[in-house]
Amino acid sequence: MQRKTSESSNGAAIKIATPSAKRAPSKSTTTSRTQRSVGTATPVRQRQAAEPHRDLLAWRKEFPILQRKTYLNSCSLGALSTRSMAGMARFQELWNEYGASAWYKLWVSEIAEVRNKFAQIIGAQPHEVAIAPNVSAALSEIATGLDLGERNRVVMADLDFPTLAYQWMAKQRLGIEVDFVESPDRMTVPTEQLMEAIDNRTGLVATSRVFYLSGYIQDIAKLTRHAHKQGALVLIDDYQATGQIPIDVKALDIDFLVTGTLKWLMGGPGLAFIYVREDLIQKVRPSVTGWWGSRDMFEFRTGVFEYRDDAQRLEAGTPAVAPIFAANASLDIVLEVGVERIRERTRWLADDLVRRIQERGWKLLSPADGAVRSSIVMLSMERPEELVSSLAQRGIIVDSRPGRLRISPHFYNTVEENELIVSALDELLAVRN
């Protein structure tokens, strides 16, 4: 793949990847829906010529919701692809065809496959990966499995997703203390503030790579270096980043990572992942456990319990298989497009959205600087739920958090859809009292 440098809408240099033929599906079926939906005076053809990554739009035909809606809510739920639909249909066919033997013949290898693909996306080895039904359950495996000993303090940010905090708050009766670092602007947390909070009683720093509330990208490399120097471990809640922003867990040297398929990985609900750094696996002994976490599970040795040697010791019981089929298909899409390319595209789209927001003087609650902002764009809005439902009536799907309207384009979105959402907001806000 060749690369060249171009100017993004806000003037920042971005890389444009020239697509390989195999990478994107045929362009012939690129939806015309957004090309019809024009909200500014710039001719469509002129804007298309200026827009990089146009080849990625060929993927749109794989996501039926994009033909029906202006879908800008991938940080809540990634769009369902025809490939994932076919994967889930295949799961049902195999169930009908083989009955229980589908487990041994096929489903077990499907689980191994999803583990391998996820490991590839984050730069891990498959034996360092466990699966869980959701991120909260994944966190419980680590929180009950990790003995922090004398270093009983857990440092996190008050912008982290509540479920991350609850894991350790629920263990306060076991002597765990949670130390929240307060965000000065409800948008960012300076890395130095988190670093200062780490002391010789801190056993773990548990925080997000991307804050769900603002899209801010934390400097995990710097934080981890410092935490390790102080003798603390680092756990990353990567739910709002995996599949959107490249990661190499080895280069970052993080100890644990949890994430799931619901959002940027486009695999829907029911599947989460846990990464445990190889040399820590033996130290994690979860009390939330079961036969899938035990060595030689098929020997059915009631009365003998030993943890497995690999990260699967953090698993408990029979997983839901349909989401694994859905995820095997969606992770293929992530790998084919490439997370680096997804980041280029989503950064460009989010920069474009931010520019339109700033032109209108609306208050942005995400960083203006695209280098530290993911593709979650938050706007300060009164009664955002009303706007969400008015937009939904126009076929535009976004989402809200208290006092905030949240727009989150993925690689399959278009600049025309950015135009659509902002011009719809122009109209809705003009008649608001």
Ligand X SMILES: Cc1ncc(COP(=O)(O)O)c(C=O)c1O
| Rounded CA separation 195/182 (Å) | 13
Cα–Cα–Cα angle for 400, 57, 3, nearest 5°?
A: 110
HSE at residue 200, side-chain half, CA atoms within 13 A, is: 0
| CA dihedral (39, 42, 45, 51) positive or negative | negative
Phi and psi of 208, rounded to 5°?
-95, 150
**Please, which residues bridge with residue 181 across strands?**
157
Measure CA 292 to chain center: 26
CA angle (3, 265, 86) in 5-degree steps = 105
β strands within 199-319, DSSP E: 202-208, 233-237, 256-260, 272-276
Residue 294 is a binding residue for ligand X (CB under 6 A): no
Q: Rank residues 356 and 373 by Cβ distance to ligand X and give the closer one.
A: 373
> Across-strand partners of 15?
5
Stretch that binds ligand X, among 15-23, 116-124, 235-243, 295-303 (CB under 6 A): 235-243
Q: Which of residues 94-133 bind ligand X (CB under 6 A)?
A: none
**Cβ-based nearer residue to ligand X, 331 or 424:** 331
In the complex, minimum distance from the CB of residue 243 to ligand X, in angstroms, rounded to a whole number: 13
Compute the least distance from the CB of residue 136 to ligand X, in Å.
3
Q: Are 341 and 53 in contact (CB under 8 A)?
A: yes
Per CB under 6 A, the list member of 79, 135, 143, 424 interacting with ligand X is 135
Q: Which residue in the set 62, 110, 128, 237 belongs to the binding site for ligand X (CB under 6 A)?
A: 237
CB nearer to ligand X: pick between 95 and 166: 166
Nearer of residues 9 and 134 to ligand X, judged by Cβ: 134
Q: CA dist 325 to 41, 266, 342, Å? A: 44, 12, 22
* Binding of residue 223 to ligand X (CB under 6 A): no
DSSP letter assigned to residue 105: I
Site track 147-186 with ligand X (rule: CB under 6 A), x = hit:
--------------x-x-----------------------
Q: Nearest distance from residue 259's CB to ligand X, in Å?
A: 8
Q: Shortest gap between Cβ of 149 and ligand X (angstroms)?
A: 26
Task: Name residue, tokens 């727009």.
Answer: 407
- For ligand X, which is the closer residue by CB, 30 or 214? 214
98 or 166: whose CB is closer to ligand X? 166
Q: Does 260 bind ligand X (CB under 6 A)?
A: yes
Q: Which of 181, 252, 272, 324 binds ligand X (CB under 6 A)?
A: 272
**Among the listed residues 34, 70, 81, 134, the single contact to ligand X using CB under 6 A:** 134
3-state secondary structure of 181: strand
First CA to last CA across the chain, in angstroms?
52
Among 30, 202, 240, 366, binds ligand X (CB under 6 A): 240
**Which window, 4-12, 193-201, 237-245, 388-396, contacts ligand X (CB under 6 A)?**
237-245
Structure tokens at 186: 């409800």
Given the complex with ligand X, which of 242 and 414 has the nearer CB atom?
242
**212 contributes a contact to ligand X by CB under 6 A:** yes
Site for ligand X, rule CB under 6 A:
134-136, 161, 163, 208, 212, 237, 239-240, 260, 272
